[in-house]
Amino acid sequence: MIFEARHHGRRWVATALLLSGPAIYIGLAAAQVIASQLGQSERESDVRWSVKLDPLNAEYRDKIARIELIEKQSPADAVSWSRGATALNPHRENYWLDQAVAEQLTGDFAAERISLARASQANSHSAGLAWQIGNLYLSQGATEAAFRDYHKVLENSPQLVPRAIQICWALRPDVNFLLQNVVPPEGDKAFLSFLLSNHESDAAAKVWATIAASRQAVEQPFLFEYLRYLLVNHQALQAIRVWQQAADLSGLAAYQPTDENLLVNGNFSLPILDGGFDWTYQKSSAVMLALDPVETHSGPRSLRIFFEGAGIQDAGISQIVAVEPNTEYVFSGYYKAEEMDGVGGPRIAIHDLYTQEPLFTSDTLGEIDSWVQVTGKFTTRADTHLLVLRIARVPADNPIRGKLWIDDLKLVAASHLASLEKGRQ
């Protein structure tokens, strides 16, 4: 009987243990559910209950840390709660970031740097995190550390690139340092645009040299923007250099001047770029421009200009041409015209881009039904590097009507023509 009683006692204990296991599990699960619901509250008391019900959940401790930091303005208490969160879960970068902010506000900069390093380790590829870390380093004066994180931003976040570059330049306006240590190749063009907007021409030229040396592809709109800046600011030699380098960087080898013709696309066989050193044009209600594949002199197309109206100073199409100072040049071209009506008429005009000094003006391109050649010579001034060729209306602003075609426009150094002639003899 004694044996039987002990036997039944053991069975009762075993049964109790088996029944209590699920009960404990259900109780823990219920506590976690309640903790989760309370943890979503904005009331500190509710979140504190979440910590009591689910003490191993780091999220609730971090939320209290943020309440202490933001609402109660108590960074010392926030540090304690944040350190509890990072101890429970050291793999969440936002926990380390909250801890770093609290440590900075308490003046514990050494601890803050450790927390920032741990945040970066937790998510080393996040540009948004690098942006926040960089700003925190910056606020404590750790500029070298800030530069490292801004470098990550410039590599991975196009949206933040302009602001990051602005901050980096304000910290250290040294283009060589920033190119070597902070701005990656992906940020070179944004860096160049920033420098142009701040009229840092010399620094922008160094960034362009880096782009050219690394043979980065350059989109034509970006190229034209830089060239416009250079031309407006009288940086002729840099503009000429940039256009030459654009032959490879922007796929513009066909638009380069040659010894045989310094004019680009002089026979209008290529699409008009409306930028750089190709033809540029402005729309006008009194002038219509078109490429004509029917009426041509020798190539596949000519430029047709239809005038109808008053207030016309030129045809609205022009080209900037790179030349050498103190050099004689020979211009030639062909034209035909129909139904021209009005005092005077159009003329081909070439002048210095900056001084506006006229160097060549043709006779009036009057009505004629066959192609006629126009030629002329001129010598550039000692300070001339850029010319402009345009189709002027003389006298300006007077009403005019008619059709004009031009084709096979050429500009050649007289010395080159002389050497060609000598070679043929």
Q: Which domain holds residue 306?
A: 280-424
- We report the CATH number of the domain holding residue 419 as 2.60.120.260
pLDDT of res. 2: 42
Spatial contact of 268 and 234, defined as CB atoms under 8 Å apart: no
pLDDT of res. 183: 96
In a domain, 337, yes or no: yes
pLDDT of res. 19: 46
In a domain, 201, yes or no: no
Q: What is the rounded distance in angstroms from the CA atom of residue 325 to the CA atom of residue 302?
A: 30
In a domain, 190, yes or no: no
Q: What is the rounded distance in angstroms from the CA atom of residue 232 to the CA atom of residue 246?
A: 19
Q: Which amino acid is at 161?
A: V
Tell me how many domains the chain contains: 2
In a domain, 152, yes or no: no
In a domain, 256, yes or no: no
* 95 CA to centre of own chain: 34
Last residue of a domain, one of 118, 138, 160: 118
Query: How many alpha carbons lie under 13 Å from residue 25 in its C-beta half-sphere?
Result: 6
Give SS3 for 268: coil
Burial of 89 (0-12, 13-18, 19+ CB in 10 A): middle
Last residue of a domain, one of 76, 92, 118: 118
Residue among 349, 366, 165, 332 nearest 260 (CA): 332
Tokens describing residue 41: 């509250």
For the chain, 425 residues long, give each residue's pLDDT as a single digit of tens. 444 444 555 565 555 445 444 544 444 444 454 445 544 555 666 656 566 666 767 777 777 778 777 787 878 887 777 787 788 888 888 888 888 888 888 888 888 888 888 888 888 788 889 999 999 999 888 999 999 999 999 999 989 999 999 999 999 999 999 999 999 999 999 999 999 999 999 999 999 999 999 999 999 999 999 999 999 999 999 999 999 999 999 999 999 999 999 999 999 999 999 999 999 999 899 999 999 999 999 889 999 999 999 989 999 999 999 999 999 999 999 999 999 999 999 999 999 999 999 999 999 999 999 999 999 999 999 999 999 999 999 999 999 999 999 999 999 999 999 888 777 76
- We report the CATH number of the domain holding residue 74 as 1.25.40.10
Spatial contact of 377 and 329, defined as CB atoms under 8 Å apart: yes
Query: What φ, ψ does residue 260 adopt, rounded to 5°?
Result: -75, -25
Task: Look up the pTM and report it.
Answer: 0.81
Torsion of CA 53, 56, 57, 59, to 10 degrees: 110
Tokens describing residue 299: 């190539």
pLDDT of res. 45: 61
In a domain, 55, yes or no: yes
> CA-CA distances (angstroms) from residue 184 to 100, 187, 188?
27, 5, 7
Who contacts 145 (Cβ-Cβ below 8 Å, separation ≥6)? 113, 116, 137
Residue among 186, 184, 152, 147 nearest 167 (CA): 147
In a domain, 352, yes or no: yes
Tokens describing residue 27: 């109780």
> CA-CA distances (angstroms) from residue 137 to 79, 116, 145, 149?
18, 8, 6, 9
In a domain, 174, yes or no: no
